[in-house]
Amino acid sequence: MANKVKVRICVGTSCFVMGAAQIQSLEFNAPADIADHIEIVEERCMSLCKDIKRKYRNGPFVFVNDELVEEATYEKVVGKIREQLKKS
Amino acid sequence: MNDALFIEIGSAQQQKYGEDCFGDTIYSKKIPEERRIISILSDGLGSGVKANILSSMTTRMAMKFVESNMELMHSSEVMMDALPVCQIRKISYATFSVVDTQLDGKTRIFEMDNPPFMLIRDDKALNVRYREIYSERWKDRTINISQVTNLEEDRIILMSDGVTQAGLGNRLYPLGWQRQGCLDFVLEKIRKNPTISASDLAQAIVQEALNKEVEKKAGDDISCVVLYFRKPRKLLVLTGPPFDEKRDAEFAELVSSYDGKTAVCGGTTANIIERELCLKCEVDKTSFDEHIPMCSTMEGVDLVTEGILTLTDVYRMLKEGIDPDKNNGATRLAKLLLDSDKIDFVVGTKINIAHQDPNLPMELEIRRNIVKKIVRILQDKYLKEITTRYI
């Protein structure tokens, strides 16, 4: 089996209130097709929120492997994971 | 050495089964200028609202009198005159126990009609001699006065008769739990856990008394106050990045040089400490909660949590009581705060621009404000000694 997709979720304050908590639930109830192929890592504030306006859009910020998902939602992240899995 | 003595006060109460409010009242106050703490437990006649009013009046009056060092007999006569007379029993009635203690260890205890207080030293109960005084006008009332010099690791326990009479009528305890039964329980608890905190011990006593009752329904108001004399437990709480980045190193240094427990609240704050002290910091998945971001673990730091949301929830719990069955960052921090006596807050004042987004929930307060609220409640309600420093 290919390497696991690494999902890094920012759980800093603003990402958390904007919905990172829902994305965290991937750990417990991910869709069956991807459940075994992901590795969830929570990170303390990745400091991306400090550069909103200049560089980034809004949080929550999630990295799927090395690709950044901005304004992430559960669906967006699952979509991105599937994309990555297809690639590998 | 006595200068360093700290008094932790913990109390627990259970109202009579079927009543909405407590018939007993507990009131403690710290007078910092005089290095003095006064704690009063009063049991009002009967239960429910009437008893609550009687006992509240008694504690408030007694506090005023003791605080202003008024002559004891005279003040208790005033109190008995002031309390309304019970229609049925023709007595004006609320009992009280007062502990008036100074931080150099000198303690006076006045008791009227409550079960005698317990003084526990070196895992044993000491019998303290007392003097009885009588009132001319209220013949059947006597007040016991005792005086002790407290040492480190002493505990003084006050209780209402709801504790000693718990289980009255129960086949196992026809005469109730009795003072001796309670004392044995306390000694056993302390032997098992010599540093048990005052609030934990008070809670345990009340819980055990309740267990003795028929069907665990309290037959009377059950209350208990524990005063625990000990060396202060220190806690340093760092929250928020310093305003000026150049001070990050100095800020992190505070953690490594502190002689007590440390807590770091804030993701960015933790990142700074991690970077400056070259410590490894990892997210702790056992603290998962839908509403509070997870904690992390860092070597040399007792607790690492997220910032504002956690602090806001801590403030809520300090007001309403700690959620019993949770183990998230906020409950851990709240427990850590309550287990400490001297708490030093160091608050970084840099403002996180992302938090000022109007789309975010209103609860996202400015750090300084929420810390101020927490400090105030810790001082007023929990009598903690607190310093705050902004950086």
Q: How far apart are the first and last CA of chain B?
A: 32
E strand or H helix at B255, and its extent?
helix B248-256
Q: Do residue B291 and residue A13 have CB atoms under 8 angstroms apart?
A: no
B358 to chain A, any CB pair closer than 8 A? The answer is: no
Can you tell me the distance from the alpha carbon of B337 to that of B305, in angstroms, rounded to the nearest whole number?
A: 13
Examine the domain organization and report whether B240 and B323 are in the same domain: yes
Query: Which among B230, B251, B281 is the end of a domain?
Result: B230
State yes or no: ipTM above 0.85.
no
Examine the domain organization and report whether B35 and B113 are in the same domain: yes
User: What average pLDDT does the segment B78-105 reach?
Assistant: 78
Can you tell me the distance from the alpha carbon of B158 to that of B115, in angstroms, rounded to the nearest whole number?
A: 8
Gyration radius of chain B over CA positions: 24
Task: Give the best-scoring range by mean pLDDT among A17-26, B45-54, B186-195.
Answer: B186-195
Examine the domain organization and report whether B222 and B309 are in the same domain: no
Sheet holding B342-347, edge to edge: B281-283, B296-298, B301-305, B261-265, B234-239, B342-347, B385-390
User: What average pLDDT does the segment B254-278 reach?
Assistant: 89
Instruction: List the one residue out of B224, B201, B205 whose CA is nearest residue B154.
Output: B201
Q: Are strands B131-134 and B142-149 parallel, antiparallel or unpaired?
A: antiparallel
- Which of B45-54, B95-104, B348-357 has the least mean pLDDT? B348-357
B309 to chain A, any CB pair closer than 8 A? The answer is: yes
Q: What is the identity of the amino acid at A22?
A: Q
Domain span at residue A71 reads 5-87
The pLDDT, as a whole number, for residue B4 is 64
B219-238 pLDDT, tens digit per residue, is 889 999 999 988 888 999 99
What is the overall mean pLDDT for chain B? Answer: 86
Residue B204 scores a pLDDT above 90: yes
Examine the domain organization and report whether B202 and B248 are in the same domain: no
Q: Give residue B384's pLDDT band: very low, low, confident or very high (50, 70, 90).
A: confident
Domain span at residue B118 reads 2-230
Sign of the torsion angle spanned by Cα atoms B205, B210, B211, B213: positive
User: What average pLDDT does the segment B58-86 reach?
Assistant: 84
Residue A55 scores a pLDDT above 80: no
A2, two tokens: 């290919």
Examine the domain organization and report whether B208 and B241 are in the same domain: no
**Which CATH number do you get for residue A63?**
3.40.30.10
User: What average pLDDT does the segment B75-85 reach?
Assistant: 78
Examine the domain organization and report whether B57 and B166 are in the same domain: yes
**Chain B residues in contact with A45 (beta carbon < 8 A):** 267-268, 271
B53-64 pLDDT, tens digit per residue, is 889 988 999 999
B160, two tokens: 């209402």
Chain A residue with the nearest C-alpha to that of B365: A13
Residue B41 scores a pLDDT above 90: yes
Query: Which among B214, B230, B246 is the end of a domain?
Result: B230
- In A1-74, the DSSP E strands lie at 5-10, 38-43, 62-64, 67-69
> Phi then psi for B23, rounded to 5 degrees?
-90, -20
Q: Do residue B364 and residue A17 have CB atoms under 8 angstroms apart?
A: yes
Examine the domain organization and report whether B221 and B107 are in the same domain: yes
Residue B1 scores a pLDDT above 50: no
User: What average pLDDT does the segment B285-298 reach?
Assistant: 83
Examine the domain organization and report whether B193 and B285 are in the same domain: no
B110-165 pLDDT, tens digit per residue, is 998 889 999 999 989 999 999 988 877 777 778 889 999 988 889 999 999 889 98
Q: Do residue B357 and residue A21 have CB atoms under 8 angstroms apart?
A: no
Q: Are B156 and B117 spatial neighbours (Cβ–Cβ below 8 Å)?
A: yes
Q: Minimal Cα–Cα distance from A43 to chain B, Å?
A: 7
Chain A residue with the nearest C-alpha to that of B269: A45
User: What average pLDDT does the segment B178-195 reach?
Assistant: 92
User: What is the 3-state composition of chain A as percent helix, strand, coil, each rounded to the nearest 5?
Assistant: 45, 25, 35
Total number of domains in chain B: 2
Query: Which among B195, B210, B230 is the end of a domain?
Result: B230
E strand or H helix at B238, and its extent?
strand B234-239
B355 to chain A, any CB pair closer than 8 A? The answer is: yes
Q: How many residues does chain A have?
A: 88
**Which CATH number do you get for residue B99?**
3.60.40.10
DSSP state letters, A57-73: --S--EEETTEEESS--
Total number of domains in chain A: 1
Q: Give residue B82's pLDDT band: very low, low, confident or very high (50, 70, 90).
A: confident
The pLDDT, as a whole number, for residue B227 is 92
